[in-house]
Amino acid sequence: MKRRSVIQLATSSVAAVALPRYAFAQTAYKAEYKMSTVVPPAFAWGKGGEIFLTLVKERTNGRINIKQYPGASLVQGQQDREFSAMRQGVIDVLCGAPINWSGTVRELGAFTLPFLLPDHKAYDAVINNTALMTEYFDMVRKAGAEPLAVGETGYRQISNSKRAITKPDDLRGIKLRVVGSPMYGEIMSTMGANPTFMSWADAQPALASGAVDGQENPLEVFLAAKVHTLGQKFVTKWNYSNDILLFAIAAPVWASWTPADQKIVREAAQDAAKQQIALVRKLFEDDVQKVSALGVNVHVPTPAEMEQWRIATRRTYASWKAQINPTFVSKVEEIVAKSRKA
């Protein structure tokens, strides 16, 4: 089944149930709808948002005008506040990583457990599973947003200024910037690192000054942000987590639009997500080569080394699976297991 048809099924199958929750009267459209993204269109993530708003404006003949606010500027750069700000009416549209919002709605970060999605084959099997995404989209609706489509933020890798990291013990004593996710912090601290939570805007000067030693992000971000100029000499491509990129609309805003415009916006998000995933995958194919060309030491773990990482994160995985939504995560695990046999 094609990806678009899967997401259409996931959204339409619950629409009749979900819409009465947001029984707001339709009102005059706003002159501008504010969309938050953590990064600008120079990054694949931000580009996905730009493609989305462009398609919406074109297909609605300007009736719906979405403006992108990169750098999470609507929340002063604090990306972990995006979802709560949307609930407060500050943000109308989200194009972001649910791991950033897991402090507000914990179960939205279900896909980010360490090594849950080991590769793109597993990732695609999960996001293209109709029943699973129907369930996840309903979680998003209950939290206060209308989910439209799913892209990909990319596999997160680790970089630092101190030494090559080839095994868990190599992280001991490394001061590491992580996004505002307690789970990510626990992953790092369990292996002896010293995690510090800060926005990406704050992380860049902290890396440059040596206030922190390293960070974890997709290598696409490493390249686009020129992180090698911030003293980052060592990279480990361990693919430990890959979050979805969720396109979503604040529930009251969604309810204020006509059904015809809702359909247009949903399809625009699905088209944008498809293009955004293609861009992420293209960048992933040669990111090691491009980062190495900058003079950075890039380590790609062997299968035996990868098993060490999985063992080192096993306790954290079990703890957070129980806290997030064990039933849902078990369903993800089953889909991943089947993908390994296919």
CATH, domain range 157-240+286-330:
3.40.190.170
Would you say residue 186 has pLDDT above 90? yes
- Report the predicted TM-score, pTM, of the whole model to 2 decimal places: 0.90
**With bands split at pLDDT 50, 70 and 90, how would you rate the model's confidence at 8?**
low
Cα separations (Å) of 299 from 210, 248, 287, 331? 22, 36, 12, 32
Yes or no: say if 196 and 189 are a contact pair by the CB < 8 Å rule: no
d(CA 242, CA 228): 22
Backbone angles phi, psi at 225, to 5 degrees: -90, 0
Strand partners, 68: 35
- The mean predicted confidence, pLDDT, of the chain is 92
List, in order, residues 6 or more apart from 279 with CB less than 8 Å away: 44, 47, 48
**Where are the domains positioned within the chain?**
3-153+244-284, 157-240+286-330
Question: Residue 290 pLDDT > 70, yes or no?
Answer: yes
Q: Do domains 3-153+244-284 and 157-240+286-330 have the same CATH topology?
A: yes
313 has pLDDT over 90: yes
Closest C-alpha to 206, from 235, 184, 227 = 227
Can you tell me the mean pLDDT for 13-26?
A: 43
Give residue-wise pLDDT tens across range 151-184.
999 999 999 999 999 999 999 999 999 987 899 9
* CATH code for the part of the protein at 3-153+244-284: 3.40.190.170
Give which of 90, 115, 88, 85 is closest to 100, Cα–Cα: 85
pLDDT at 261 over 80: yes
Q: Answer positive or negative: Cα dihedral of 88, 90, 92, 93.
A: negative
Give the pLDDT confidence of 229-243 residue by residue, as tens digits. Answer: 999 999 999 999 999
Residues in the chain: 342
pLDDT band of residue 250 (cuts 50, 70, 90) is: very high
